[in-house]
Structure 1
Amino acid sequence: MSSLNSLSKYLGAPIAKQQLININLKRFLSSVSEECKRQSDLFAAEKQRQRENVGRIEKIDVHTEGPPEASLIMNKNVSTPYDCAKHLGDKFVDRAAVALLNNETLWHMHKPLPDSCKLEFLHYQIPNPAVVNKTFWRTCSFLLGAVVSNAFKDDVNLQLHSFPSPNVKSGSFVYDVQLGLENWKPTTSELKVLSIEMIKFCQQAHPIECLDVDKDFAFEIFKCNPHKTEQIPDIAAHNDNKVTLFKAGHHVDISRGPMVTNTDHLGRITVCNVLKLDTDISGGPIYRFQGVALPKSIVLNHFAYGIIEDRGKVLNSGRIPGKHGDVNEDNTFVSQMAV
C-alpha cells in the first residue's frame, strides 16, 4: 500500500500529496474531539472554582533575582511567575521558560505563588541549561500527545497511555499511545503530516496552564481513558492526594511538571518515528511516537539538525509501559533541581 493510500485510510480518502496535507491540517486545526472539549471545559470550570475559593486576598513579597532585581507586591495564591515577569517587561515574558523558586525549586510560570519568595526566570541561554532542557523536553512529549490525540479519524481507537520522564540524552521525546492499528509502520509522508500538525498547533501560541485537582476530579476528567484512570491512584498517593493537570488549547493531560510557558516556545519540530512496542498491556498495540525539537530561540544549521533527526528515529530507551511496575511519570508538581 502506498504511503498516501495508507495515510488516507486513517486520515481521509485517497488524494494528492499536497491536498492530503492541507485537508489533514484543516481537520486537525478545526476539528477537536468531543472528549477533548469535555475535558477542556471541566478544567476551565475547576480552575475558575478554585480561583473564586481563594477568599480574601493576601499580599506577598516577591524578590526577582536579576538582572534585573526587583521587589514586587503580589497576591498570594493568585499571582504567578508569569504575572511577575510582566512587571519587568516583554523581554522577560517572552524568553522565560520556567521559574526557579528560592534558588532550589523549579516552578511552572502559570502556577500561583503560595507565599513570599525569591524568584529567578530561567531561559534557554543560561550557562547551565540542563533543567530548562528537561522542562522543554517534557513539554514536547505533552504536546506530541495533544497532536496525536486528534490526528486520526474517529473510527481509529486511540488512547493516550503515558510518557517517560524527560531524558534529553535519549535522543528524542516520546509519547506511548494505544492505537487500534495492527503493525502500522508510518511512511515518510505520514510522519511529515504529523510534524506539520505539531508545528501548526504550537504556532497558535497556546498558554500552557496547570491545575492541582483532587483524585475524584481527575477520575472524572479521564473517565474515558482506562490507562489514565489506572494510573491516578498511585499518582495521587505520592502527591498529597492531588493530581497535577496541564492544558494547552483543548488538550488536558497528567504530568509531574513543570512545563514551559507557551507552545510558541517550540521552533523546529520533527516527528521522527513511530514504533510498535513489545508490551503486555491489553486492549491493543502500544506505539511509541518519537520526535525532536528545538526552542524557537535556538538556531541550528540543516546538517546538524539532520543528525538530531536521524538519532530521533532510533527506538528511545525510556521505560516501556507494562501491567506491572511504574507506568506513569512521577506527579510531584514542585520539581527539585536534581530532576
Structure 2
Amino acid sequence: MAGTRFQLLSVFSRQFSSLNNVSTVQPKLRIDDIRRRRLTIFDKEYKRQQALIPRLEKIEVNYEGLDNEAITLVMNKGVSTPYNCAQHINEQLLKRSVVAEINGELWDMHRPISSDCTLKLLHMKQEDQHQATQVNKAFWRSCSFLLGAVVESSFQDEISVCLHSFPPANVRSGSFVYDVQLNLEDWVPTQNDFRQIAASFQKFVRQDHVFQRLDVDSSVALSMFEDNAFKSEQIPHIATKSSTGRTITVYRVGDHIDISRGPMIASSSLVGRCSIAAIHKLSPKFYRFQGVALPSEIHINHFAFGILESRARKLLDIAVWSSNGEEE
C-alpha cells in the first residue's frame, strides 16, 4: 500500500560524484503515480473476480501433517486459502508454513482453493529433498521479487527506473537477482550504497507484507504495465504459455506489483538476514542487482554469512532476458 512506502536512499541524490555528470531524463510518471495506477487496476480486477463467485460452496480439505496427522476441514470454495486452513489447525504451523501443496501441486499460502483436495503445508526445513528444493526456489524467487520492489522505489524521481526481469530461481547460484534499466551510463555504487539498499530491503520485509496472487487476462496486465516497455513485450509471450493462452499471473506486495508465475512465500517476514552483495553493469544503463538472504528461522554467525556474501558477489552467467521475464 502507498502508506507503507519508504524513502531511504539519499545515496542516489545529486551530491554523489557517481551521478554528477549524468544526463537524466524525467520519467513520464513518478514511481508513486505508476504504483497507484497499477494498484487501482489490480483492486478493480480483484473485486470483479470476487463478484463472479455467486454463492459460497463448501469443499473438503484433507490436511496431511507429520506423524500421519490427518485433519478434515470444511472450507469455502474459491475463497478459503491454505493460510486459512492453517489458522484452523495451530498457530505454530501457521507461522512457519512457507508454501502449500494442493494435490501435489505447489500452491501459494494466500491463493484460494477451488475444489476438494489434499493439503500439505511446507516449511524451510523439509526433510524430503524434492519438497526442500521447491521451498527453496519459492524463497529465492520471492527475494528477487522483493528486490525489484526495493530498487524500483529507491531512486529519486529524476532517475528513471525500469524493472526488466529476474531469472529462474537457482539456489546454487548463491544469490537472487533482478535486472534493471537505469538512465545512468556509468554509475559505480559505493559500499554505502550497498548498505543503504540492504537497509531498505530489511525494513521492507519486516513490515510483514503478504504475497497476494491474481491471475488476470493479458489485456489487464498490459494495462497495468503500459509504462514499462520490457513488461509490455514479455506479457504476450508469457500469456501464450498459460493454460488459457491469455492469462498472466501478477503478485502484489505492499504497493508493489510485478509479474511472476510463482508460487511465492506466504509473507515477506519469512525473509531474515539479507545483504545486497553486488551490482554489476551489464551494458550501458543496464544493471544486475544481486542479493543474498536467509529464512527468518535460520541464524548463522557473521563469519559464515560473510562467506555467503562473497559467493553471492560473483556475476551470474545468465543473459538479460529479452522476451520472457521470469521463466523456468
The match for 2:158 is: 155
Deviation of the 1:8 alpha carbon? 4.9
Deviation of the 1:315 alpha carbon? 0.3
Match of 1:242 among 239, 244, 247: 247
Runs of 4+ in 1 over 6 A off after TM superposition: none
Report the Cα distance in structure 1 between the residues aligned to 2:14 and 2:107, rounded to whole angstroms.
Answer: 42
The match for 1:3 is: none
Deviation of the 1:32 alpha carbon? 6.4
Q: Structure 2 matches for 1:1-339, cutoff 5 A? A: 8=10, 10-11=12-13, 13=15, 33-67=32-66, 68-102=69-103, 104-127=104-127, 128=129, 129-239=132-242, 240=244, 241-278=246-283, 285-322=285-322, 326-330=323-327
**Count of residue correspondences:** 300
Change (3 A) 1:59 1:311: same
Normalising by structure 2, we get a TM-score of 0.88
Report the Cα distance in structure 1 between the residues aligned to 2:14 and 2:31, rounded to whole angstroms.
Answer: 16
Given that 2:141 and 2:176 are in contact with CA atoms closer than 8 Å, whether structure 1 keeps it comes out as yes
Report the Cα distance in structure 2 between the residues aligned to 1:75 and 1:319, rounded to whole angstroms.
Answer: 44
Given that 1:170 and 1:317 are in contact with CA atoms closer than 8 Å, whether structure 2 keeps it comes out as no
Report the Cα distance in structure 2 between the residues aligned to 1:186 and 1:303, rounded to whole angstroms.
Answer: 24
Given that 2:83 and 2:94 are in contact with CA atoms closer than 8 Å, whether structure 1 keeps it comes out as yes
Deviation of the 1:9 alpha carbon? 6.8
Deviation of the 1:320 alpha carbon? 2.4
Q: Which residue identity is paired with 1:131?
A: Q
- Partner-residue secondary structure (3-state), 2:178: strand
Worse overlay, 137-146 or 54-63? 54-63
Deviation of the 1:49 alpha carbon? 1.8
Given that 1:212 and 1:244 are in contact with CA atoms closer than 8 Å, whether structure 2 keeps it comes out as yes
Normalising by structure 1, we get a TM-score of 0.85
Deviation of the 1:321 alpha carbon? 2.5
Deviation of the 1:329 alpha carbon? 2.1
Worse overlay, 135-144 or 48-57? 48-57
Percent identity for Structure 1 against Structure 2: 43
Report the Cα distance in structure 1 between the residues aligned to 2:14 and 2:207, rounded to whole angstroms.
Answer: 24
Deviation of the 1:44 alpha carbon? 2.0
The match for 2:26 is: none
Change (3 A) 1:225 1:65: same
Unaligned runs of 5+ in 1: 1-6, 15-30, 279-283, 331-338
